[in-house]
A and B are shown apart, each in its own frame.
Chain A
């Protein structure tokens, strides 16, 4: 059974960079069958797709975040990471990592991490 686990600081100061890592266990991240995804949810609000990365390193980013966003992958550690620069209070959210199927299961997000709350505050 695949499991994903987010890790990183829970508090980030405004204008600084938010950095999170997702560790995948129970399966290899070095697979052409999936896109490794970040999704966030501001408190009390809906889900927002941030971006995803393929095992090859190819990335797709949300148009609203692309200027501040970097997603990277480390297949040797079975991890992928998120870096969001110049954060403001609007970036306060629970951040989820998830696995998106490339072709099967309707290209759905079938496995999710438990989520980690990141608060942007001085």
Chain B
């Protein structure tokens, strides 16, 4: 199985800040890395697939990068609706594994 390590586990930031969340995998996964956003009481929502492709309807302030085992999710300028928990997920092999989540809170 592939292990996922997300950092930080929590993050406080202000509206307008730029934030970066990191995801590291225990082995190379090529470009099979996806990011999800989850708000309290809601299902996760696909944000970015295949490292850097924005899902339809996702604002352009979200971006993803990386390759191999190290990946990042960047939010260029935080909006109030971006405060949520973010998960990375590898889809290279079964079982698909997810990071433990990064909770983004308002400072």
Are A63's CB and B95's CB within 8 A? yes
Are A112's CB and B55's CB within 8 A? no
User: Does A26 sit within 8 A of B, measured CB to CB?
Assistant: no
Are A96's CB and B1's CB within 8 A? no
Given A46-B87, A63-B1, A114-B43, verify A108-B34 contact (CB < 8 Å). Answer: yes
In the bound complex, CA of A47 to CA of B99 (Å)? 8
Min distance, Cβ B99 to any Cβ of chain A, angstroms: 7
Between A60, A107, A113, the greatest number of chain B beta carbons within 10 A of the residue's beta carbon is seen for A107
Q: Which of B31, B43, B50, B100 contacts A115 (CB 8 A)?
A: B43
Are B50's CB and A109's CB within 8 A? no
User: Does A110 sit within 8 A of B, measured CB to CB?
Assistant: yes
Are A46's CB and B95's CB within 8 A? no
Are A108's CB and B46's CB within 8 A? yes
In the bound complex, CA of A47 to CA of B91 (Å)? 14
Are A106's CB and B43's CB within 8 A? no
User: Interface code A71-98, partner B: CB below 8 Å = 1, 0 otherwise?
Assistant: 0000000000000000000000000101
User: Interface code A102-122, partner B: CB below 8 Å = 1, 0 otherwise?
Assistant: 000111111011110000000
Number of interface residues of B (CB under 8 A): 28
Are B49's CB and A106's CB within 8 A? yes
User: Does A62 sit within 8 A of B, measured CB to CB?
Assistant: yes
User: Interface code B40-84, partner A: CB below 8 Å = 1, 0 otherwise?
Assistant: 001111100111010100000000000000000000000000000
Are B44's CB and A109's CB within 8 A? yes
Min distance, Cβ B107 to any Cβ of chain A, angstroms: 22
Determine the chain A residues whose CB is within 8 A of the CB of B101 once the complex forms: 46-47
Q: Which of B43, B49, B53, B87 contacts A96 (CB 8 A)?
A: B43
Are B91's CB and A107's CB within 8 A? yes
A-B contact pairs, 19 of them (CB 8 A): A46-B101, A48-B98, A49-B95, A49-B96, A49-B97, A60-B95, A98-B43, A105-B50, A106-B32, A106-B33, A106-B34, A106-B53, A106-B91, A107-B91, A108-B49, A108-B50, A108-B89, A112-B43, A114-B42
Residues of B within 8 A of A (CB): 1, 31-34, 36, 38, 42-46, 49-51, 53, 55, 87, 89, 91, 94-101
